[in-house]
Amino acid sequence: MELLNFLAAIFVIYLLFFRKKKRKSPKSYASDPVKAPPKEWLADIKKKEAVVRNDDSEDDNLATFTLSGGRGVELRVTTNHYRNTSKSAGALARWVLPGEMITVAGVAISGGHIYVGQRMKPSGQESGGYYDDGSEASLIDDTCKIKPTSYLYEDSSLGYWPSFSSLSPEARGAYVSWLASDRSDPSCPIGYVFIYLYGLERKALVDSTDPKFPDAEFRNLFNEVARLRSIFIENRSFRGYSTQLLEAMSILRPNMGLATELDSNSGFSNSMQFKLALAKTVHEGVPVSAELALNWVINHTEYSLRTPARRCAKEFAALFKRRYTLKYGEGMVVKANKTRLRLDYTPASPSLRGVRLPVPDLPDPSALKSPVQKIMALADICTDELDAYSRYLGRKGTSVNDTAAIMLLPSEIVNESAEKILSSFKRWADEAILVKEGLVSVADFWAHMNASCPNKINKKEADLMQAFALKMGYGLAPDPYYHHVKADVDGTLVLFLPPKVDASHLLLNLSQP
């Protein structure tokens, strides 16, 4: 009996915990109604399909999806990003020089600097160390469908990394129209300009490695990239890629003197040129100059210039160089390290990968920490000394030519025009002390400060007068801090030669809003 009870208990446990539930038949799902997509959705799908569809020859780029059960919906989708479109047949691409007239989709183009054809060279080859998969994002294939339209036209096919082959027929037509123009309208969609830059980049970095490639053509490429950069400089991405290309070109052909045109005042960081110059300097055992030390700080990845150094870039550079020279003379000597120099280039074009510029076997001192930390400390000191000057210029309606601004500048970097004002004031003040016992009118004092006399002398104006006089080495009465009275606009002042006085509190007041 106990055995039967035990078996019965086992059977009950089996039924409760181990027996699988019967699955619902797949056919039961078919009876559930499938809601048809809203009409608005279908309309939107058709609208987007019209934008991304290129032409009948590009159907292999499309995918079809069907919602079975109920009403079916067919979706046609194509991606806008760059694809490898190299062909194994068709006319080989050729480079069109400026001045040669060609016609694309009935549009005449004479500006050159473009690749035209159906295919590049066979894929998988390398040229001068640059991997080439046989495609070219800028290649103008006139067998593609092209609908000429205004170059201001753009649609969703003009994505991030666009290529001529991935554009819609209308966008291709817009790009061709831009090529037919003078290519200087800053309102042109930047995607078309990037496609154009891709071709210039390939020509400058890949084709130019041929020893027979003429310097004159290389110079024309450099000038064209520089021209584009000046037009589209407000676009941060284009400014960065075009700047890098110009810098790389100056390194590829050093004998052409292109590096001298990469002026730091025009916004060039020259990071690759800096690394190469620093490597050569250290390799030769030459002291690091003040200019090179400044570039070391500017280009270092672990150092960010603070607001005063960015807002007052010229003043910061001048002050840094003076202080560096004062401390290190001709410059610090840096011992060569074992790390070797590498200059890696990040292409704008999706067609180029693994670009490394050819450089001599040199050390890479830019990786050293000890010397740059000393330079950074000096840069911090210079930045601090420009803080009050920077805060003053950050206020609305101020100018570097303001007398108050001149007062806040470290004396060793006062510019030439300001120096004339200061010299003129000093001659006038010395004569007043010798001839008139220092008695001068308030209006005359402001005139020799090269500033307009205010309608009333308030605390701000009184502080400015005292700071200016003390900076020039004079005392001025009345002094509100000692005499507890301020001068009147039509009143009189007394200039005199005082003992040394700390005027830091006055200069600080001038920088306050």
Q: Are residues 109 and 215 in the same domain?
A: yes
Is residue 107 scored above 80 in pLDDT? yes
Q: What is the pLDDT of residue 129?
A: 42
Residue 237 lies in a domain: yes
Tell whether 70 and 7 lie within a shared domain: yes
Average of per-residue pLDDT across 53-64: 40
Question: What is the span of the domain harbouring residue 102?
Answer: 94-268
Does 92 have pLDDT greater than 80? yes
Most confident of 78-87, 213-222, 354-363, 482-491: 213-222
Assess whether pLDDT exceeds 70 at residue 27.
no
Which one of 35, 50, 77 terminates a domain?
A: 77
Distance between CA atoms of residues 237 and 193, nearest Å: 12
Residue 502 lies in a domain: yes
Same domain, yes or no, for 354 and 474? no
343 and 429 both lie in a single domain: no
Instruction: Please state the φ and ψ torsions of residue 125, each to the nearest 5 degrees.
Output: -95, 160
**Count of Cβ atoms closer than 10 Å to residue 92 Cβ:** 9
Q: Is residue 402 part of a domain?
A: no
Assess whether pLDDT exceeds 60 at residue 326: yes
Q: Residue 136 in 3-state DSSP?
A: coil
Residue 403 maps to a domain: no
Per mean pLDDT, which range of 252-256, 343-347, 471-475 is the poorest? 471-475
Residue 184 predicted with pLDDT over 60: yes
Question: What residues does 495 pair with on adjacent strands?
Answer: 476
For helices 271-283 and 290-299, the axis angle rounded to 10 degrees is 130
Q: Find the Cα–Cα–Cα–Cα dihedral 439, 443, 448, 451, rounded to 10°.
A: 150
Task: Looking at the structure, tell me whether residues 238 and 280 fall in a common domain.
Answer: no
Please give the backbone phi and psi of residue 115, each rounded to the nearest 5 degrees, phi first: -95, 135
Looking at 385, 407, 437, the residue that finishes a domain is 385
Q: Are residues 106 and 249 in the same domain?
A: yes
6-12 average pLDDT score: 66
Please check whether residues 362 and 431 belong to one and the same domain.
Answer: no
Which of 224-228, 446-450, 458-462 has the highest average model confidence (pLDDT)? 224-228
d(CA 193, CA 170): 16
Same domain, 133 and 247: yes
The domain tally of the chain equals 4
Mean pLDDT of 361-388: 95
Has residue 404 been placed in a domain?
A: no
Of the candidates 219, 247, 268, which is a domain's last residue? 268
Statement to judge: residues 342 and 314 lie in one domain: yes
- Of 449, 378, 459, 457, the closest CA to residue 407 belongs to 449
Indicate if 478 and 428 belong to the same structural domain: yes
On whether residue 26 sits in a domain, the answer given is yes
Query: Is 317 found in the same domain as 288?
Result: yes
Q: Is residue 281 part of a domain?
A: yes
Q: What is the pLDDT of residue 400?
A: 84
* pLDDT band for position 83 (cuts 50, 70, 90): very low
Does residue 107 sit in the same domain as residue 170? yes
- How do residues 379-416 score in pLDDT, each as one tens digit? 999 999 999 899 888 878 888 888 778 888 888 888 76
Residue 436 forms part of a structural domain? yes
